[in-house]
Structures are given as structure tokens and as C-alpha cells.
Structure 1
Amino acid sequence: MVTPSAKPQDVFAADALHSAQTFMRLLDAAPLGMLVSTLDGMVVYANPAFSDLLGHRPEPGHVFQFADLVSDETNTTTRLHFERLLRGEVSVSRGEHQLRHADGYPVWAMVGATILPADGDTPPLILVQMNSIELQKRAEEALAASESRWNFALESARQGVWDHDIRTDTMFYSRMWRLMRGIPADEAVDGDQAKWLERVHPDDRPRLMANVHRQDRGDSDYDSLEYRERTRDGDYIWILSRGRPVEWDAQGTPIRTIGTDTDITHLKLMEQELAAEKERLRITLEAVADGMISTDLDGRIIFMNPAAEILTGSNAATTVGQTASDVFRLRSERGEEKLPCPVRTCLAQSTQIRIDDDSVLCALDGPRRDIRATASPVFDAAGTLTGAVLVFQDVTQSRALQRQLAHSASHDDLTGLPNRASFERALSAAIVSARHGPREHSLVYLDLDRFKPVNDTAGHAAGDALLKQVAQTIRGVCRSHDLAARIGGDEFAIVLEDCSIAHGREVADKIVRAIGALAFSWAGRDYSIGASAGVTIIGAQPASPLGFMGEADAACYAAKAQGRGCVVAYPEMAAS
């Protein structure tokens, strides 16, 4: 685990958790019954007010659907309302529905629903709010028998009542309607529409003027209107105005509409806070430099942030719905081998999958980037796997630096050949392979002849240039899998894998002759150098107490004693 300062995705995770906690606190505190369900109607959350309303108290592991709450009498109407919402014909569905109490009896409720779009690792959900209208229903049923009882019931439910006589264009307002707006109960109210519109928030007037007549004529899509109205103290409250025609003339034209107003300011404040939280989350995701992709249980993309679009070379608008493996295409750093998508592995194993090395992301628009990625499973409150989130970073520059540092640590800065440390590792590996298997290798120790005069006469710059030329010559004679290293000032050593002593001597002789044939000029002057080499065989055990390196060094010393510019094999030297 890394610190938040080093991992921006941890900052995102903390913000997401805080947002979720805030969301849950708001829903838990809501005075209206609140449900959150999946698009297929499976309830994933219910607040305390819902339990108080219908008597259902969901327990962990207990799953039920919204359809289970609807009474048989209004099942068809309720289903049609929600189908229109799911088809996108309306953004908000509101209507009166008869629900089933846990004890079996029906409960009338005003039910409002809206779709919460997919956000981050959360799929689209339906937010349902419900408010008991049992008192209102009972009052409506008793209206003909007792006007006073009807008014009392509505006031008990804190519903402000209005009655619009379309024929005379006059309005009746109940006492609660007045109190809601801070108007004294005994004060007469001018029902003129212009007077009412003066109290309506200027931003809401055009919408109301366009739709209020539809409410009067009984249009079911506009039986509920929301708007802001100024109270006597100068503040604005949100009003949910529900109404429908109750009288018609002989031609079927509505002539009287009755409705109720409800103060929904607290609900609107909640919506605003949730919207602000969602916006903060959106800004956070867009600001994160790491690529982030969220998928569903099938590995299909439901969210992609701008950084992920850039790194994958794709567009979120067109890739949502595609599988993550279609967009997040990995190849091996050492070849073109296709690597499995970490999201698929994460979902299959229900565990976090990390990719740190040997991974290249092939963007759809062409570029290839070294990548580091983490795919983490996403579980719901019940512990059920619901999808995965993939976080990945472009580490091309850091890996290039790592390769550069690794190369510098194992290679000679001047010649580019492996250094003494690399040579010793290769020699140790060759010794182990010869000791545990029927393999033999050759070891060549080479020392330059007449190199010191070049340094003393032409200077170190000339000596460096000559050493580079010698290194290229040695490398050109050796096979690709042989290791030729510079182990000292003008000393070189070569490990020839799976090479007999006879063949090793031939290779050493070629190197010595190639170095002796070098034409090196510096500042208008020609220099001639040579080389002496000693060769020994790397077998199960050294031929002498000198060890393999000591044997090759001794053979090289013998070559110099024989007049330089030649090769001596240790077995021959030891035999003589």
C-alpha cells in the first residue's frame, strides 16, 4: 500500500467514499420514503422513512423488488409510469400509486422517480421517493359527505389546497395553503394569475406559463408542477403542486380543477447537495492524471475519464459498452505476445490484479506506452461483485530511466561493453552450468600490447578512442550470445558459451589478429598496437589451483613472454 500523496487514485477513493457517505446520510435523514433500485426494479437501498411508511424493514441479505410493493389494483398504472421513465419519455415520473403495506393492507402514496445516470463505478439507478397520501385520499372520498372533514384531513397532512373555477377564473385557497406562504389564515388572497406569477421565481415563470393550462385540462404528464414561490418574509420555497380536473361541461371540457401544494424545499436542498457532490466527484475524476476505467460485471465499460481516453487513444462516448479488453490492449515489453486484460482476470478471481513490469499499452490511435495498472473488484453493500475499476499510469519515461540506470550499472561507460561486475556474474553462471551438466565453455583473457605509448604520446583522449575501436573489434568477432567485457584499463575477458578449447583458441586468435591489423591515427600520426591472449576451458573443475581466471591470466602472461601478439591455451602450457 502506498501513501495518498504518492497515489492520486487513493485521493479519489477517499473522495468517493466521502461522497457515498454524504449521499447515504442525506437519504437516511429524508422525511419522505426513499428507495434506490436497479433499472430492473431490484431495491438496493431503503431509508427509515420508507420502513415507517410501508412497514418493510429490509435486513442484510433480504432482496426484494419495487414491484413487490405495488398493490394489484394499481399494478398496471405503476408499471406504465416506470416504463415511460425507462424509455426516456419523461425525466421524472410522478403519480399516485397504491402500495402494499408489510401487514397486507394497501397504502396510497405519491411516488416520484427519476433515473440517476451511471457515475464512476456505479451503474444507472432509479431514485424513488414516496409520500403517504392516505389522508388526502380519504379526504377526497369523504368530500361529498363532509367538507370540513376533508379540509381537516388535508391540513393534518400539511397539504395546502387550491380550487380553480375555470369558468369564472376564480381561486380558492385553504388555510394551510396560506400558512405555507406566511399569509395569515384569515387574510383574503387575490387569485388573479398575474398576482400569483409576481410571487413565482422569475426563472420558473416561463415554464409555468407553458404548462399550467395543461394541468387545468387534465394532462397526466403535467398533473404535478414544481416551482419556487416567494413567501411573505422574502424567501423562496419550492412548491410541488398537484392537481386534476374534477368537473367537466357537456362537451367534456374541464371547468374545475382541484389540487394540493406541498412544500418540498427540503427535498430540493437535498437534490442540490447531491448534485454538488456529484459535480465534485466528476471534477475530481477529470483532474486525475491516471487513466481510470470502470466496468460492469461483464467487463463492459461504463465510465472512462479523460486521462484514460488519451492513454488508450479512444473516445468515452463511443467506447462505453465495449469490453475493457477491446480498449485496454496490452503487449509484452519483450515482444508482441498479447497479455490478458487485468479487468478480465480481476472479475474472474474477484481479487485485485497488479501489472508492474513488462507491459506495453497499445493505444487505438497508434502510440505504445509502458504501463503500470491495477484492476480492483467492486462490491456492493451486500458483498456481491458488481464490476471492476482499472487505474493505470504511463511509466514510459521512468522505465526508460530504469533501463538506462541498469545498463550503466552493468556496462563500461567508455566502450559500452559489459563491465567487470557483469563479467563475473557471467563467469559464475558458466561455471555453474559446467559443474551441473555436460557442458564446456572457453574463457579468454586479453591484454593490449603497446597501448601505453599511445596514452603517453597522444594523450588520454586518443587512448579512449582507441579502446572504443578495440571494443568494437572484439564484439565483431564474437557470437551474439558470447559475453565480451572490459575488466580493466586495457584488459578484456570473454566467456564463449558451449565452446571447446580448440574453437576458443581460434576465436582468440581471430581477435588478436584483428586488433593487430587496426589502423589508428591521431593528430596526423599513425599508431600500431597488438594484443596477447590466454585461453582456458571452463569445465566441472579448474585444471589447477589458480582457478579459471587465474589459468587464463597465466596463459596470457605466457603469450606475452613468447613475444606478444599471440595466443596461448592453458592446457598446452600446463602440459609443456
Structure 2
Amino acid sequence: MSAHKPSTVAPTILRFERIGSMLARIVDNAAVGMVVSEMDGRMVYANRAFVDLLGHRVDETADDTILDLIHDDDSAAARQRLSLLMRGEAGEYRGEHRFRHADGGPLWVMLAASVLHSDATGQPLYLITQVTSIELQKRAEEALAHSESRWNFALESARQGVWDHDIRTDTMFYSRMWRVMRGIPPDEDVDGDQQKWLERIHPDDLQHVLDNVDRQDQGDASFDALEYRERTRDGSYVWILSRGKPVEWDENGKAVRTLGTDTDITRLKTIELELAAEKERLRVTLDSIADGMISTDENGHVVFMNPAAELLTGYASADAVGREVRAIFRLRDGVTGEVQECPVAICLATDEAAHLDDDMILVGKAGSERDIRCTAAPVRTPSGKLTGAVLVFQDVTQSRAMQRELAHSASHDDLTGLPNRAAFERALNSAIASAQDGSRRHCLLYIDLDRFKPVNDNAGHAAGDALLKQVAQTIRGSCRSHDVAARIGGDEFAVLLSDCPPEGGQRIGDKIVRAIGALAFTWAGRTYRIGASVGIATITEHPASPLGFMGEADAACYAAKARGRGMAVAFGDL
């Protein structure tokens, strides 16, 4: 902690990035001192009012805790109550205590502390502590023993309305400031009947007051403050924090008189409502986003998941929070099948955004697989400290399937499913390039069907298409698994035999001729038989003629037809 310098106050707002700058300004300019602590008590943020009040400012690199602010002369109650909150054994606490000012002296404050829990898991996230100076009130209470006028003046200076409840007669006394905060003229008589006061309380708060006002009157140690809305003279409502305790008892020890003060906390409640509304808007926005979103801490553990992320990963947020994100977000390469590193790990290791756009597969909890595109970006404090990462991912399964279909359609024949002429020419050019150094040889087969036209003319195009499908399957089945068989024209096919010597090309060409000749195609009760003529060219570093390899195979096929059809002829045998 360090002394406050009014001219250079610039409190560091930590962990408020998602709330927005407007909300940060509201909190920072609130009249009530507010400090946010980790659950171990380490302070991470203090607003301007807190700094002004105690002369301390929070240094995010320091290890000061909220307990360190409690003055040594104060009772142990504050430390005990705050410790209960930090251990999760209590939800909130209010009390009057002395805090240590930067100059070392004590300062009386009204302490209100509560635990902020995660919406998703209920886990305690932060300890929120509000402090309001009651120094003037305390001084007034001390002066009360000496002078009624001094006591009243001090309370008015602190804008504390005073009430005095005589339980024996059920009558109330209200101070001048008590009237002012309700818009009642200072010198106007107020009916002290408690029922009249209850009629002014907001209907939504009335039951809470009725349930607890007797506890306040009787000095219940676990309850000494009421919060409620009370209607003012102009019809509007003001939020009241009413603190009180018994000051007189009868001979049986029963409280007969209670004294207390009312504080206008409307401004603080307005800030609380704005915070709640902003938080709700943020929650609705995140829930409505179709992209999956996962937020992690600096160690890569999940702290938040939106519904889209739950759907895509198969993990409920309650089960995922606290676990390592790589156990929830599992990726593998869509081409190689290899497990991929989680982009969050890459982001946290490099302190830079990590993008994975191509062929990534998200493996869900039940083993489901989705094509995704994802980005992990670092989250930093305003000072630049890395505090975690946000992972955003999209389901692109449908679009990628469409892309694959389009790519397949562009390179394959719609009827037979074999590669089309353009795809075959690309494969042929690649084979020719691989043979340029003379170390590799390939074979090219050009296949033209014999007696196919009568099938088309007599049985129709539907029969011709059905026959072409059978021929395509027959050719594909006669080749090796790594060979490229394609339909390059109406009844014309070609096969590229990789790393195949001429004798091997002749053998496969003969096999194709026999297989097609053995086909017995039946349509509408009639059986048709066709044949095939095959031309063979050997792909070496240079074509054997100016025709080129495709021209050589075509010429060899023409020769096969001239020799009587139904045979495979190599260009070298012409």
C-alpha cells in the first residue's frame, strides 16, 4: 500500500474488461468506497472513493490483503467475519470497524462485504467490500455523552438521520436530517406511529422489514441493519440503510428503547442495479452468439463457456469450469488424423493470438466430430499482464462438406464417378514431369469402346449411361489401387499406370480388353455385348514421336481398331 496522491490518482481496474468502460467509470466514480479482493484477500481493485477515504491505493503487483487495512486497535470481529467470507463459510457481512488510514491513524467505517459467485457454477470469485466513513457518526456518539447539541450537529454534518423507538409506547422520534432525506420539511411534525412508517415502505420490501424489524429492536447480534425503499414526500422512493440497537432494557433484561441512524444509499443501489443490468445484457449477448466461446485463466483452466460451446463440445459448463481447456477442446487434423495442440496453449505460451482455420476436427465428449475454425486470443489487464485467453470457434461442417462436394464435382465425371478429363490431364502432366530425369517410367492406356453405339441407338441413352457405369467399374477393377482411371469422353477412357514398365502396361491393357469383352449387358430383356480397343504409350523422359504421349496412345488405339478391334496395341509395335 502507498500514500494517495490526489493529483495522480489512476486506479487500475482489473478483471472488468468484459463489463465495458462505461460500467468501469460508474464504479470508479461512485461515492461509496469499493475494493475488490481475490478470495485469499489480496486486493486487486479500489475505486476513487476508496482511495480518497483511506489514502491508500491498490498496487496490482503487491500482496496486500483487505485484512491488512484493519487497524490494530480494532476488535478481532472484522478479521473473523471477513475470514469466514474468504473461506466461503458466509455470504455477506456488515459491521462498523476501524480501518487504518495511510497516515497510520484509525478511521471508523461502515463495512459491507459480500462474495461474488460465478453464475455458471456458484463458485466464489471475488470478495466485494464497500466502506463508508462513519467517523463523524462515531465522533458524534462520543460527543453525545457531553452535549446533546454537539451530538445532533455531528450527525447532521454526516447526513445521518436519527430515529429513536420507544418500544413501551410504540412511539418514534425522528431527527431533522431524517426528515430532510425523505423530503419532509425540517420543522414538520411526523406521526411517530410505526404503522405510518410501514405504509411508506415499498411493497416489495415490506415483508423483509416486517420479518426483521423486531430482530433489530431486540438487538439480535447477527442482524443490525435493514435495507429497504421508503416513499418520499414527492412520491419517489429512496433506498435507506437503517442501523440500530437497543439502548435501554427493563428489569427483566428486555429491550425497551432502540436508537439508530438512517443513511440514504440510493446512489449505491443505483450503481448496483446498473451493474446487474449490464451483467444481464452481457449474459444474454454471450448466450445468443452462435459461435462457441470458452474463457480460461492464465493456467488454461476453463472459467466460462457459453451455450454454443456446450453444444459443440458436448460438455456442460458446470462440468467444464475448473478443468484444463485441452481436456474439453480436443482437436485432430482433418487430413492426417493427428492430435493437434489446443490453440489456447499456443496463445498462452506465445502471448499472441492463435488461428487454426484449415481442416481442423473438434472431437466432442461422446466422440462426435465437427469441422471447425477457431481463434484463441490473449486477455490482458490494462497494464498488459496476461490473465487468460478467450477461445472462439465456429462449426463449419456444412460449408466444408459443400466445398468438398464442389471440389469433387469439379474433378470427377458425374455419371461414372471417375476423374474427368481435366483431372486426368493434371495427373498425366505430373507423371510426365516425374519421368524427366529418366529414373521413372509410366504407361498410358487409351480405351475406346467397340459396338457401343448400337446400345445407345437401340436401347436409349439411359441404357447407354448404365452400361458406361459398368464399364467404368470394370476398368477400375482391372487396375492397381494407385492407378488413375478416368473418363475423358463419351465412350472413351484413359488409365495412367504409375511406375509401370511396357510389359506391365500390355498385361493390364489385355486384362481390360478381356474384362470388357466378357460383359453381358441386359436391358429391357435384351442382352448386348461390347468390346474395347486399347492403345498403349510408354511415358519416358521424351515422347517417341511428335504426337506426344496422349497422341501416341490414341494412334495405338486406332491401330487396334484397324487390326480387328478387341485388342491392346502398344505404340512401339506399330
How much does 1:433 deviate?
2.5
Distance 2:235 2:329 in 1: 56
Match of 2:71 in 1: 71
Match of 1:115 in 2: 115
How much does 1:247 deviate?
4.5
Amino acid at match of 2:420: N
Q: Give the match's secondary structure for 1:257.
A: strand
Match of 1:372 in 2: 373
Distance 1:33 1:434 in 2: 81
Match of 1:323 in 2: 324
How much does 1:135 deviate?
0.8
How much does 1:286 deviate?
1.8
Distance 2:467 2:429 in 1: 30
Distance 2:429 2:72 in 1: 84
Q: Give the match's secondary structure for 1:351.
A: coil
Note if contact 1:224-1:242 (Cα within 8 Å) is conserved in structure 2.
yes
Distance 1:248 1:547 in 2: 118
| Cα distance, 1:60–1:300 mapped onto 2, change above 3 Å | closer
Q: Deviations over 1:116-138 (max 9, x none)?
A: 33369999233322211111111
Match of 1:440 in 2: 441
Note if contact 1:139-1:151 (Cα within 8 Å) is conserved in structure 2.
yes
Amino acid at match of 1:509: D
Amino acid at match of 1:110: M
Say whether residues 1:298 and 2:330 are aligned partners. no
Distance 2:411 2:214 in 1: 84
Match of 1:156 in 2: 157
How much does 1:195 deviate?
2.2
Mapping 1:34-113, distance limit 5 Å: 34-57=34-57, 64-74=64-74, 76-113=76-113
Amino acid at match of 1:281: L
Match of 2:29 in 1: 29
Distance 1:514 1:438 in 2: 32
Q: Give the match's secondary structure for 1:115.
A: strand
Q: Deviations over 1:224-254 (max 9, x none)?
A: 2101111222221110011233455676554
How much does 1:358 deviate?
2.4
Aligned residues: 558
Match of 1:415 in 2: 416
Match of 1:4 in 2: none
Note if contact 1:120-1:294 (Cα within 8 Å) is conserved in structure 2.
no
How much does 1:284 deviate?
1.6
| Cα distance, 1:61–1:90 mapped onto 2, change above 3 Å | closer
TM-score of the two chains, using structure 2 as the length reference? 0.90
Q: Deviations over 1:386-413 (max 9, x none)?
A: 2222222222221211111111001011
Q: Deviations over 1:446-482 (max 9, x none)?
A: 1222223333333322222221111111011112211
How much does 1:329 deviate?
2.7
How much does 1:319 deviate?
2.7
Amino acid at match of 2:99: L
Match of 1:476 in 2: 477
Match of 2:210 in 1: 209
How much does 1:534 deviate?
1.8
Match of 1:135 in 2: 136
Amino acid at match of 1:459: G
Distance 2:437 2:385 in 1: 53
How much does 1:416 deviate?
0.7
Distance 1:190 1:303 in 2: 53
Amino acid at match of 2:175: S
Note if contact 1:114-1:128 (Cα within 8 Å) is conserved in structure 2.
yes
Note if contact 1:123-1:296 (Cα within 8 Å) is conserved in structure 2.
no
Match of 1:496 in 2: 497
Note if contact 1:246-1:254 (Cα within 8 Å) is conserved in structure 2.
yes
Q: Give the match's secondary structure for 1:545.
A: coil
Q: Deviations over 1:473-527 (max 9, x none)?
A: 1011112211101112222111112211111111111011111111123333332
Note if contact 1:371-1:393 (Cα within 8 Å) is conserved in structure 2.
yes
How much does 1:179 deviate?
1.2
| Cα distance, 1:299–1:425 mapped onto 2, change above 3 Å | same
How much does 1:205 deviate?
2.0
Say whether residues 1:190 and 2:191 are aligned partners. yes
TM-score of the two chains, using structure 1 as the length reference? 0.90
Q: Deviations over 1:137-180 (max 9, x none)?
A: 11122221122112111111101112334455443321111111
Q: Deviations over 1:520-554 (max 9, x none)?
A: 23333332221111222223333333332222222
Greater shift, 373-382 or 357-366, is seen at 357-366
Q: Give the match's secondary structure for 1:276.
A: helix
Note if contact 1:298-1:387 (Cα within 8 Å) is conserved in structure 2.
yes
Amino acid at match of 1:223: D
Mapping 1:399-548, distance limit 5 Å: 399-436=400-437, 438-548=439-549
Amino acid at match of 2:42: M
Q: Deviations over 1:27-77 (max 9, x none)?
A: 123111122232223333322222221223457867754334332233843
Distance 1:34 1:197 in 2: 31
| Cα distance, 1:456–1:329 mapped onto 2, change above 3 Å | same
Note if contact 1:534-1:555 (Cα within 8 Å) is conserved in structure 2.
yes
Note if contact 2:88-2:124 (Cα within 8 Å) is conserved in structure 1.
no
Distance 2:570 2:327 in 1: 60
Q: Give the match's secondary structure for 2:195.
A: helix
Match of 1:333 in 2: 334
| Cα distance, 1:73–1:558 mapped onto 2, change above 3 Å | farther
| Cα distance, 1:243–1:337 mapped onto 2, change above 3 Å | same
Note if contact 2:171-2:194 (Cα within 8 Å) is conserved in structure 1.
no
Give me the identity figure in percent.
65
Can you give the 5+ residue segments of structure 1 that lack an aligned partner in the other structure?
A: 1-15
Match of 1:363 in 2: 364
Distance 2:371 2:548 in 1: 44
Note if contact 1:299-1:387 (Cα within 8 Å) is conserved in structure 2.
yes
Q: Give the match's secondary structure for 2:443.
A: strand
Distance 2:18 2:294 in 1: 20
Match of 1:200 in 2: 201
Note if contact 1:370-1:399 (Cα within 8 Å) is conserved in structure 2.
yes
Note if contact 2:446-2:534 (Cα within 8 Å) is conserved in structure 1.
yes
Distance 1:514 1:245 in 2: 109
Note if contact 1:118-1:125 (Cα within 8 Å) is conserved in structure 2.
no
How much does 1:24 deviate?
0.7
Distance 1:219 1:387 in 2: 45
Match of 2:7 in 1: none
| Cα distance, 1:108–1:541 mapped onto 2, change above 3 Å | farther
Match of 2:345 in 1: 344
Q: Give the match's secondary structure for 1:548.
A: helix
How much does 1:321 deviate?
2.2
| Cα distance, 1:541–1:95 mapped onto 2, change above 3 Å | farther
Q: Give the match's secondary structure for 2:534.
A: strand
Can you give the 5+ residue segments of structure 2 that lack an aligned partner in the other structure?
A: 1-15
